[in-house]
């Protein structure tokens, strides 16, 4: 290490630089926050049902098997686009019924296949959860995932 | 060991090692479910196995950090811990909170944010634990010698605690939720935890190599500067596809590529200090772990992170087994090995054992590290195949998973060897060596 760099100079570089980068980061995050709320996520469509659906999602910790927007466990399929995969864009009612039928038929018991637990969701919980997944599928995620497989 | 109050570290190291064993056992069970999917499906579903695996890891690493802090603060500040009783109370609150969380998980009581599944009252208990530590550590620092090592360590722990406050807030908008969730997850492991890591490394290298503190501390500032200058904006690599603006693809790609630098600097630092110092310290195992953590953190966090961090690559690899591969080796290399390094250094001193089961400990190093490397390779191969089939060809997720089953079998095997390695490490640290009486006293 260069002898010219004194310890107090190194300290000043560290604290000064850290504060600089943190301020830049906070500014970008503040801008992103406003971008999410006003542009990318249909925040105005964040209804009570969607919010309740997110709570169902959290209560059963779906994220510790599935991913959503690519984050979570990698044990079960990506769900940010499950609404699209089930054809929700073309036939919303059909997709809703198909998803409900799927929840109700778990666990499948198929040999050698990963098992999703039976969560015994009420009709309302299923509707809310599906509303949440539909809302999520409409967030502008810069074109991710690359295809329907998620 | 020079101060009686350093002994509180033993509580933390003991608790950490117990949870370490639990962590790898639940990891092994989860790995088994990948291969035999009906195993435990009705009793402990995969999501619960995984949350215990990850939570146990995080808690024991934090316990290790607290233990390390209580061990090194007295020597650095040259005075006793402000309140050893408070430190012991803090330990029990932390352990009971963690145990309560795990028992709750087994009965389906949990939240649903990844890694932050703890019910609210446990998250509040964690904040109380952090406050107890911050008060105790800061008071110890304030009345003693303020070295760079002690300052950087306390800064890292302060910032970790402050960032954890975001765990108390769950935004209703998923994109907003994710954006601030990373303030805890990323800014911990790719930010302030590296401050903790670098300062503990600096502490050990001063002791193990005998290099002058002035030199080590300048290096320490260099490494933590590189860490935060790259790591803070490097958070952007998590903001590519969650509803955040497109410019993060540039910010995240550029800064997270640079995140390799502090890890590389850590390797150079560790080896250069050993070469320069030339001290023949009797605790060879501690030196092995200290050098090992620098190297494996560079590969796990640095190289494996770089592999999928560029936005055009990440577009295809995001959320595949590539991420799992990186996650496993990064946590092992940077934080597991660091914790075992400081325990390997400190525990013989605390227990007044000279030199203890060193050879067995080094066996544990090689067995565990080799198995973790093998696990990482298998998951990487699984991830490459998955990325191609699913993200490029568009094949259905579950079909792809069947195609890569072989890799999961290899991973399970690697996991079993990791468990053996971990048991060797824990045994070597906890059980006294047979030849201990005949050996020379350990140098501090």
Residues A101 and A78 in one domain: yes
pLDDT score of A3: 63
Q: Which pLDDT does position B440 carry in this prediction?
A: 46
- Nearest chain B Cα to A7, which residue? B218
What pLDDT, in 10s, does the model give residues A48-80?
A: 999 999 999 999 999 999 999 999 999 999 999
- Provide the pairing of β-strand A71-72 with A67-68: antiparallel
Same domain, B109 and B185: no
Verify that B141 and B261 share a domain, yes or no.
Answer: no
Look at the alpha carbons of B57, B58, B61, B63 in this order and tell me if their dihedral is positive or negative: negative
Residue A146 lies in a domain: no
Residues A72, A20: one domain? Answer: no
CB distance from A85 to chain B under 8 Å?
no
**CA nearest B89: which of B59, B66, B72, B73?**
B66
Q: Are residues A131 and A59 in the same domain?
A: yes
Are residues B135 and B268 both part of a single domain? no
A144 within a domain of the structure (yes/no): no
> Is A114's Cβ below 8 Å from some Cβ in B?
yes
Domain match, B189 and B327 both = yes
Confidence class for position B434, pLDDT limits 50, 70, 90: confident
Nearest CA in chain B to A147: B394
Name every chain B residue with its beta carbon within 8 A of the beta carbon of A61: 47-48, 51, 110-112, 117
Mutation target among B221, B258, B386 for the A interface, most CBs of A within 10 A: B221
Asked if residue A14 belongs to a domain, the reply is yes
- Whether the pLDDT of residue A1 is over 90: the answer is no
pLDDT digits (tens, 9 = 90+) for B310-368: 999 999 999 999 999 999 999 999 999 999 999 999 999 999 987 688 999 999 999 99
List chain B residues with CB under 8 Å of A111.
38
Residues B261 and B346 in one domain: yes
Query: Which residue does chain B place closest to A143, by CA atoms?
Result: B241
**Pair (A52, A102) in one structural domain:** yes
Pair (B318, B376) in one structural domain:
yes
Kindly state the percentage of chain A with pLDDT values over 90. 95
> Which of B146, B164, B199 is the endpoint of a domain?
B146
Q: B279 falls in which pLDDT band (50, 70, 90)? A: confident
Is B163 contained in some domain?
no
CA angle B47, B53, B58 (to 5 degrees): 125
The verdict on residue B439 lying in a domain is no
CATH number, residue B392: 1.20.210.10
Answer whether residue A1 is part of any domain.
no
Domain of residue A100: give its range: 45-137
Q: Which residue is it, tokens 């919980």? A: A125
Pair (A54, A106) in one structural domain:
yes
Structure tokens at B9: 């570290």
Q: Which of B221, B323, B397 sits opposite A78 (nearest CB)?
A: B397
The per-residue b/e assignment along B85-105, b for 16 or more CB within 10 angstroms, e otherwise, is ebbeebbeebbebbebbbeeb
Whether residues B331 and B227 share a domain: the answer is: yes
Q: Domain with B109 in it: what CATH number?
A: 1.20.120
Same domain, A70 and A124: yes
Considering the domain architecture, whether residues A20 and A85 belong to the same structural domain is answered as: no
Residue A4 has pLDDT above 80, yes or no: no
Across the interface, whether the CB atoms of B225 and A29 are under 8 A apart is answered no
A147 within domain boundaries: no
- The shortest CB-CB distance from B176 to any of A7, A11, A33 is to A33
Q: Within this chain, do residues B141 and B37 fall inside the same structural domain, yes or no?
A: yes
Q: How many domains does chain B have?
A: 2
- Could you tell me if A51 and A30 lie in one domain? no
B416/B86 Cα distance (integer angstroms): 38
Q: What is the DSSP string of B340-372?
A: HHHHHHHHHHHTT-SS-SHHHHHHHHHHHHHHH
Residues A56 and A84 in one domain: yes
Q: Residue B390 CB: number of other CB atoms within 10 A? A: 26
The pLDDT, as a whole number, for residue B295 is 98
Same domain, B194 and B63: no
The pLDDT, as a whole number, for residue B6 is 98
Same-domain check for residues A103 and A126 = yes
Q: What percent of chain B has pLDDT over 90?
A: 94
Let me know whether B318 and B202 are in one domain. Answer: yes
Mean pLDDT, to the nearest integer, of B216-226?
A: 97
Q: Are residues A34 and A51 in the same domain?
A: no
SS3 sequence, chain A? CCCCCCHHHHHHHHHHHHHHHHHHHHHHHHHHHHHHHHHHCCHHHCCHHHHHHHHHHHHCCHHHCCEECCEECCCCCECCCHHHHCCCCCCHHHHHHHHHHHHHCCCCCCCCCCCCCCCCCCHHHHHHHHHHHHHHHCCCCCCCCCCCCC
* Domain containing residue A95: CATH number: 1.10.760.10
Residue-level pLDDT at B437: 44
Closest chain B residue to A29 measured between Cα atoms?
A: B179
Greater model confidence, A14 or B437 = A14
Q: Is B399 exposed, middle or buried (0-12, 13-18, 19+ CB in 10 A)?
A: exposed
- Nearest CA of chain A to the CA of B288: how many Å? 24
The residue from B102, B130, B146 where one domain ends is: B146
Residue B37 and residue A24: Cβ atoms within 8 Å?
A: no
Domain region containing B93: 1-146
Judge whether A149 lies within some domain: no
Residues B274, B360 share a domain: yes
Query: Which two structure tokens, joined as six digits, stand for B114?
Result: 């990844």
Has residue A143 been placed in a domain?
Answer: no
**Chain A stretch 122-141, residues whose beta carbon is closer than 8 A to a beta carbon of chain B:** 132, 135-136, 139-141
Long-range CB pairs of A94-98 (<8 Å, 24+ gap) are A96/A127, A96/A130
In a domain? residue A129: yes
Report the domain count for chain A. 2
- Is residue B435's pLDDT more than 90? no
CB contact under 8 A, B215 and A31: no
Q: Which residues of B420-439 are buried (b: 16+ CB within 10 A; e: fewer)?
A: ebbbbbbebbeeebeeeeee
Domain contains B212: yes
Q: Exposed (0-12), middle (13-18) or buried (19+): which is A146, by Cβ within 10 Å?
A: middle
A11 to B321: CB separation less than 8 angstroms, yes or no: no
The reply to whether B320 falls in a domain is yes
Check residue A2 and give its pLDDT: 55
DSSP-derived letter for residue B117 is -
Whether B88 and B194 map to the same domain: the answer is: no
* Within a domain: B443: no
A55 and A120 assigned to the same domain: yes
> Mean pLDDT of all residues in chain A?
96
């Amino acid at each position: 290490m260069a002898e010219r760099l004194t310890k107090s100079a190194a300290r000043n570089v560290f604290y000064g630089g850290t504060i600089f980068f943190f301020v830049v980061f906070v500014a970008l995050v503040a801008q992103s926050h406003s971008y999410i709320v006003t542009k990318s996520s249909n925040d105005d469509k964040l209804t009570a049902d969607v919010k309740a659906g997110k709570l169902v999602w959290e209560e059963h910790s779906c994220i510790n098997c599935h991913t959503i927007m690519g984050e979570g466990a990698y044990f079960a399929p990506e769900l940010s686009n499950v609404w699209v995969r089930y054809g929700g864009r073309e036939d919303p009612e059909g997709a809703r019924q198909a998803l409900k039928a799927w929840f109700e038929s778990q666990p499948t018991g198929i040999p050698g296949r990963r098992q999703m637990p039976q969560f015994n969701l009420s009709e309302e919980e299923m509707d809310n959860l599906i509303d949440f997944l539909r809302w999520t599928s409409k967030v502008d995620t810069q074109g991710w995932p690359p295809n329907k497989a998620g | 060991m020079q101060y009686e109050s350093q002994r509180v570290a033993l509580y933390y190291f003991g608790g950490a090692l117990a949870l370490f064993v639990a962590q790898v056992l639940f990891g092994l069970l989860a790995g088994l479910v990948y291969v035999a999917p009906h195993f435990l499906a009705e009793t402990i579903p995969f999501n619960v196995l995984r949350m215990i695996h990850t939570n146990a890891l995080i808690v024991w690493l934090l316990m290790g950090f607290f233990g390390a802090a209580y061990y090194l603060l007295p020597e650095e500040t040259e005075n006793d811990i402000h309140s050893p009783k408070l430190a012991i109370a803090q330990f029990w609150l932390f352990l009971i909170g963690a145990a309560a969380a795990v028992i709750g998980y087994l009965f389906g009581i949990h939240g649903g944010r990844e890694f932050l599944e703890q019910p609210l009252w446990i998250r509040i208990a964690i904040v109380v634990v952090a406050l107890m530590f911050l008060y105790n550590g800061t008071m110890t620092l304030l009345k003693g010698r303020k070295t760079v090592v002690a300052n950087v360590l306390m800064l890292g722990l302060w910032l970790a605690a402050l960032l954890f406050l975001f765990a108390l807030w769950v935004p209703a908008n998923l994109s907003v939720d994710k954006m601030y969730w990373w303030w805890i997850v990323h800014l911990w492991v790719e930010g302030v935890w590296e401050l903790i890591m670098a300062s503990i490394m600096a502490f050990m290298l001063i002791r193990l190599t005998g290099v002058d503190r002035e030199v080590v501390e300048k290096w320490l500032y260099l490494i933590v500067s590189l860490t935060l200058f790259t790591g803070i904006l490097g958070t952007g690599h998590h903001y590519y596809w969650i509803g955040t603006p497109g410019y993060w693809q540039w910010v995240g790609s550029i800064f997270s590529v640079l995140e390799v630098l502090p890890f590389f600097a850590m390797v150079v630092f560790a080896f250069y200090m050993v070469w320069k110092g030339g001290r023949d310290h009797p605790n060879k195992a501690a030196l092995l772990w200290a050098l090992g953590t620098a190297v494996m953190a560079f590969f796990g966090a640095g190289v494996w992170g770089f592999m999928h961090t560029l936005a055009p690559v990440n577009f295809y690899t995001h959320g595949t087994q590539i991420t799992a591969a990186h996650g496993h080796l990064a946590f092992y290399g940077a934080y597991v090995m660091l914790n075992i390094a400081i325990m390997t250094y400190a525990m013989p001193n605390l227990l007044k054992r000279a030199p203890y089961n060193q050879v067995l400990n080094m066996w544990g190093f090689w067995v565990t590290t080799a198995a973790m490397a093998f696990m990482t390779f298998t998951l990487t191969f699984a991830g490459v195949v998955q990325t191609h089939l699913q993200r490029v060809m568009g094949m259905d997720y579950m079909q792809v998973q069947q195609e890569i089953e072989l890799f999961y079998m290899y991973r399970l095997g690697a996991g079993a060897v990791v468990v053996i390695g971990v048991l060797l490490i824990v045994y070597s640290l906890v059980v006294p060596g047979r030849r201990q009486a005949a050996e020379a006293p350990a140098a501090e």
